[in-house]
């Protein structure tokens, strides 16, 4: 049963399914490192998927990705304004933004409204694009030479552009976070904003930047889910993937590199649960495997609520605490 072709197809599937979590959690790592918990991630993700759906049909992939980043930026800005400037409770604000994102995405994609938006964006659009609920997939780009390597070639080097972007971003974001002055400032405002402020770091600005990066990547994760993974639009199609990404950030202990492992692990569970069903493993309890990602989510969130565990895991000390200069 376990041969090379099988392994290749399972692992490639894990990477494809896991990239959604990776992109979203990378942004969330930055937001949380700066001290802002973005519970609106699910809403940003679904909104990103909806926007990429509309723009991909109106203009194609390039502008769809740009529009997605823009909507994520705006949503991040809104979250930053509410939680950093107005210092509202981050959990309440985040949940409100999730609900807003779910409602708004359903609204702009409902048949009539979508038609109007598409026509106002691109009056020359064809009839088919007005009605369809799908969009063209992002093309697979095989990297010359590297894609011929057995196993690894299929898994890592025969994917679409967003998978490569996510992997490169993880390394770049890790480097920036831990090896640059900007990264140090970012981490310091999440650990001890008063101290950072005294050292001359603009706490508000750092938090705004981090949250907006989080918003952009959250929305991009939604765009990946739609045009990069399964391009069929249904309301609520993210089905909790934003919340799973939040748990993943904790599992990765706020490190972009560990997020890669975590994301592909979650992706792997998603793929394996169906493979195992077919092989006959856990045929009577497939729900058990299906709930694993959620169980991991709950366990990590529970651990996080225990004060002594918080320190050991390394939670940014000022997470969810609004800063006000006194």
List interacting residues with other proteins (CB under 8 A): 6, 9, 13, 17, 20, 82, 86-89, 92-93, 95-97, 99-100, 103-104, 106-107, 109-113, 128, 132-134, 137, 192-195, 225, 229-237, 239, 241, 270-271, 274-275, 277-280, 283-287, 290, 317-318, 321-322
- Angle between helix 4-33 and 203-223 (nearest 10): 150
Least spacing, CB of residue 174 vs other proteins, in Å: 26
> From the CB of 313, what's the least distance to other proteins, in Å?
14
Q: Which is nearer to other proteins, 4 or 172 (CB)?
A: 4
Q: Minimum distance between the CB of residue 285 and other proteins, rounded to whole angstroms?
A: 8
Minimum separation from the CB atom of position 172 to other proteins (A)? 27
Q: Are 189 and 206 in contact (CB under 8 A)?
A: yes
State which H helix or E strand residue 159 sits in: strand 158-160
The two tokens of residue 111 are 């048949």
Would you say 87 or 179 has its CB closer to other proteins? 87
Comparing CB distances to other proteins, the nearer of 222 and 256 is: 222
The span from the first CA to the last CA of the chain, in angstroms, equals 65
Best CA proximity match to 314, nearest among 264, 249, 244, 265: 249
Q: What are the backbone dihedrals phi and psi of residue 17, each rounded to the nearest 5 degrees, phi first?
A: -70, -30
Shortest distance (Å) from residue 202 CB to other proteins: 18
Closest approach of Cβ 114 to other proteins, in Å?
8
| Nearer CB in complex with other proteins: 173/186 | 186
∠ CA 24-49-37, nearest 5°, is 35
Q: Which is nearer to other proteins, 20 or 249 (CB)?
A: 20
- Enter the tokens of residue 121: 């964006």
Nearer to other proteins, 98 or 255 (CB): 98
How many beta carbons lie within 10 A of that of residue 31, not counting itself? 33
- Sign of CA pseudo-dihedral 30, 249, 160, 46: negative
State the CB neighbour count (10 A cutoff) for residue 151: 13
Cα distances (angstroms) measured from residue 239 to each of 89, 155, 188, 225:
25, 25, 34, 11
Shortest reach from residue 146's CB to other proteins, in Å: 21
> Nearer Cβ to other proteins, position 135 or 170?
135
């Amino acid at each position: 049963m376990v041969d090379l072709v099988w392994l290749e197809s399972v692992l490639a599937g894990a990477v494809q399914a896991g990239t959604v979590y990776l992109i979203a959690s990378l942004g969330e790592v930055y937001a949380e490192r700066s001290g802002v918990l973005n519970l609106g991630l699910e809403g940003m993700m679904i909104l990103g998927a909806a926007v990429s759906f509309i723009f991909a049909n109106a203009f194609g992939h390039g502008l769809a990705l740009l529009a997605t980043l823009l909507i994520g930026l705006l949503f991040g800005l809104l979250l930053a304004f509410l939680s950093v400037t107005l210092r509202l409770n981050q959990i309440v604000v985040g949940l409100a933004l999730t609900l807003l994102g779910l409602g708004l995405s359903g609204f702009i994609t409902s048949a009539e409204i979508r038609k109007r938006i598409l026509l106002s964006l691109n009056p020359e659009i064809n009839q088919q694009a007005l009605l369809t609920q799908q969009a063209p997939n992002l093309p697979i780009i095989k990297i010359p030479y590297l894609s011929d390597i057995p196993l690894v070639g299929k898994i890592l080097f025969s994917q679409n552009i967003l998978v490569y972007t996510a992997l490169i971003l993880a390394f770049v974001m890790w480097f920036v976070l831990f090896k640059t002055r900007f990264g140090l400032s970012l981490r310091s405002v999440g650990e001890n904003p008063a101290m950072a402020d005294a050292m001359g770091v603009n706490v508000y600005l750092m938090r705004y930047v981090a949250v907006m990066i989080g918003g952009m990547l959250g929305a991009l994760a939604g765009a990946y889910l739609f045009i990069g993974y399964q391009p069929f639009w249904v309301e609520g199609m993210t089905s909790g993937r934003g919340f799973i990404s939040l748990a993943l950030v904790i599992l990765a202990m706020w490190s972009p590199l560990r997020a890669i492992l975590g994301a592909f692990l979650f992706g792997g569970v998603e793929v394996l649960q169906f493979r195992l069903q077919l092989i006959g493993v856990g045929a009577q309890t497939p729900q058990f495997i299906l709930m694993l990602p959620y169980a991991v989510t709950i366990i990590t969130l529970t651990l996080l609520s225990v004060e002594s565990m918080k320190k050991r895991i390394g939670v940014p000390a000022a997470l969810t605490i609004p800063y006000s200069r006194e």
